[in-house]
């Protein structure tokens, strides 16, 4: 879909796969800040010495940190319709964390459009799947089916 396309073109996106995004490196500083923000200081995330002796062999990113990176990872992959006034995170139908992301590892995302429905005039609900893969790993870190509500500009 080109930047000049409109929301009425959303149904044509269904089945389209976009990506991959650019690689993004996970750092210990990011993981530590996320732990501080969420209060999740489990040792596998923040204690390098103890995590080294765990089955992970070192610290790993929080699953929810990986999930929260989706806007950054997919920013260049999505729809750029001129007539969209606002895109709202509408929720998630399914999220699965399949493989831990080790600190220092790199991730990237693919986006696939699953459904598009005009809920009301000038409101489109779009369901898409984001797969976050880890560099040099066969299994993805995460697969999430997410929903976004697009509101059409009234001043067009």
Beta-carbon contacts of residue 118 (< 8 Å; ≥ 6 apart): 7, 8, 10, 124, 125
Quote the percentage of the chain above a pLDDT of 90. 78
Quote the percentage of the chain above a pLDDT of 70. 92
Q: Is the pLDDT confidence value at 3 over 50?
A: no
Residue 107 to residue 88: CA distance in whole angstroms? 24
Please state, as a whole number, how many other Cβ atoms lie within 10 Å of the Cβ of residue 90: 15
What's the alpha-carbon Rg for the chain, to the nearest Å?
A: 18
Tens digits of residue pLDDT in 73-125: 998 886 556 678 888 999 999 999 999 999 999 999 999 999 999 999 889 99
Q: 57, 47, 38, 41: which is closest to 102 by C-alpha?
A: 57
**Residue bearing tokens 């059409």:** 152
Residue 84 to residue 123: CA distance in whole angstroms? 9
Say what the pLDDT of residue 96 is: 98
* β-pair partners for 60: 102
Tens digits of residue pLDDT in 30-43: 999 999 999 999 99
Q: Is the pLDDT confidence value at 4 over 60?
A: no
**Burial group, residue 9, by CB count within 10 angstroms (0-12, 13-18, 19+):** middle
Say what the pLDDT of residue 83 is: 74
Say what the pLDDT of residue 2 is: 36
Quote the mean pLDDT of the chain. 91
Contact 10, 116 (CB under 8 A): yes
Q: Which domains does the chain have, with CATH numbers?
A: 7-24+63-152 (3.10.129.10)
């Amino acid at each position: 879909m080109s930047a000049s396309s409109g929301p009425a073109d959303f149904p044509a996106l269904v089945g389209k796969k976009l990506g991959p995004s650019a690689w993004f490196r996970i750092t210990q500083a990011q993981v530590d800040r996320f732990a501080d923000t969420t209060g999740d200081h489990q040792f596998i995330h923040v204690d390098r010495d103890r995590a080294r002796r765990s089955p992970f062999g070192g610290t790993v990113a929080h699953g929810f940190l990986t999930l929260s990176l989706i806007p950054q990872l997919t920013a260049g992959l999505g729809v750029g319709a001129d007539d969209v006034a606002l895109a709202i995170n509408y929720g998630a139908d399914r999220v699965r964390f399949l493989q831990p992301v080790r600190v220092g590892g790199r991730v990237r995302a693919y986006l696939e459009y699953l459904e598009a429905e005009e809920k009301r005039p000038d409101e489109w609900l779009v369901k898409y799947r984001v797969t976050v893969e880890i560099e040099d790993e066969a299994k993805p870190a995460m697969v999430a089916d997410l929903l976004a509500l697009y509101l059409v500009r009234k001043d067009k």
